Amino acid sequence: MGVSPPGPTDFPPAPPRANPWRAVVVILVTVVLILAALTAFWFVTKTGPFSQIEPSVWALNAMHVPDLRGRGLDGTGVRVCVVDTGVDLTHPELAGLHLAAWKDFVNRQSAPYDDEGHGTAMTGIIFAHGILPGVAPNADLIAAKAISSSGTGSDSAIANAIRFCLDPNADGDLRNDGANVISLSLGGTNHPFLGSATTSAVDNATSNGVYVVAAAGNDGQNDDGDVESPASEPSVIAVGAVDREGVIAPFSSIGGANWGFPPVARTDPNKKPEVVAPGVEIATPLNQGRYAYVSGTSPAAAFVSGIVALLLQGHPSYEWNPAKLTALKTALMQSAEREPGQQAGPHDPHYGYGLVAAGPWHDVLPP
């Protein structure tokens, strides 16, 4: 993941005298392009609605998702907002999905669509109910398109999309139609001392009791010192990626020990990333009826978003309750499963607290 440089005409001519704030403005503007496409790598694409693709059942089993599904939890009554490239609801895997709300912050189209494929893939991980088993297929979808066909999105578009997730009909009543979970399989360069509209929108969401799950990022082989933004925000659940053997993916971003400016040491249960989830060669739907195996921290974040939806169905007292956020993250920390390559101690900067475990997480979550 990274930030696209601005074009040569993006800024006005430099003033004749040096301006000490100009450097700050330049950095702020360069932060506004957040890449979603780079949070997933498309490995194998299968075309057509009846393509042969092996569902990633191993991933669901690794996270104990069948445990919760066996208890009758399927996401019913929970709203999940996916901020991404849109969604192709004509795909067989998403047939019959309940769309609670849609808004396009890129091209202003009134009907749902996906001109890149990433959003349909992430939505499928949560909601699919055909060849592929989604984590929470009966949840309600709020879809916000903030990422273009080129995989880029402005800071303002993403921030507006997050605000839309909270209150799609803008009536001030979050409980009536707002999201319980916001899934962000996107990220950009982390500048904690500057902040951004996106991080402000995320913090506003969590302060209203909405759970935000974000991809940790894919810069593990070119580490910049921390997970990407907005996964770096303390209240967000940042998710790294492992393969089917539970080994950390080489691309999965490494968490830093400190956050903010001036730097403040991160403490449990908010050390980054919080958890890892399967994110290597995950079977997903794509737009235009296609299928693909994708890798990245994007699919890992989508898995965890679906699991949070199941937890909220089973623990409705945690909905729109900001006072419960620490308890939920503490239970996440306590229930995560340690992997063989994980460092000693409660937290590892690569693996977080461990592999997310849906059933145990549900069981240790206080009433």
pLDDT in tens, 268-315: 999 999 999 999 999 999 999 999 999 999 999 999 999 999 999 999
Distance of CA 315 to the CA centre of its chain: 21
> Helix crossing, 297-314 with 118-127: angle to 10°?
30
Which one, of 275, 297, 294, lies nearest residue 285 by Cα? Answer: 294
* pLDDT at residue 192, as a whole number: 54
The model carries a pTM of 0.89
pLDDT in tens, 1-45: 333 322 322 323 334 444 555 444 434 433 444 444 445 555 544
Distance of CA 234 to the CA centre of its chain: 15
pLDDT at 210 over 50: yes
Residue type, 26: V
- Taking the CB of residue 190, how many other CB atoms lie within 10 A of it? 25
Interval 246-269 mean pLDDT: 93
* pLDDT at residue 30, as a whole number: 38
Of the chain, the percentage scoring pLDDT greater than 90 comes to: 76
Which one, of 332, 330, 337, 361, lies nearest residue 351 by Cα? Answer: 337
CB 249 within 8 A of CB 243: yes
pLDDT in tens, 225-250: 899 999 999 999 999 999 999 999 99
Structure tokens at 293: 């195996």
pLDDT at 171 over 50: yes
pLDDT in tens, 108-151: 999 999 999 999 999 999 999 999 999 999 999 999 999 999 99
Residues with a catalytic annotation lie at 84, 118, 298
Domain spans of the chain, in order of start: 35-364
What would be the CATH architecture of the domain defined by 35-364? 3-Layer(aba) Sandwich (3.40)
Interval 179-199 mean pLDDT: 83
Distance of CA 83 to the CA centre of its chain: 8
Of the chain, the percentage scoring pLDDT greater than 70 comes to: 84
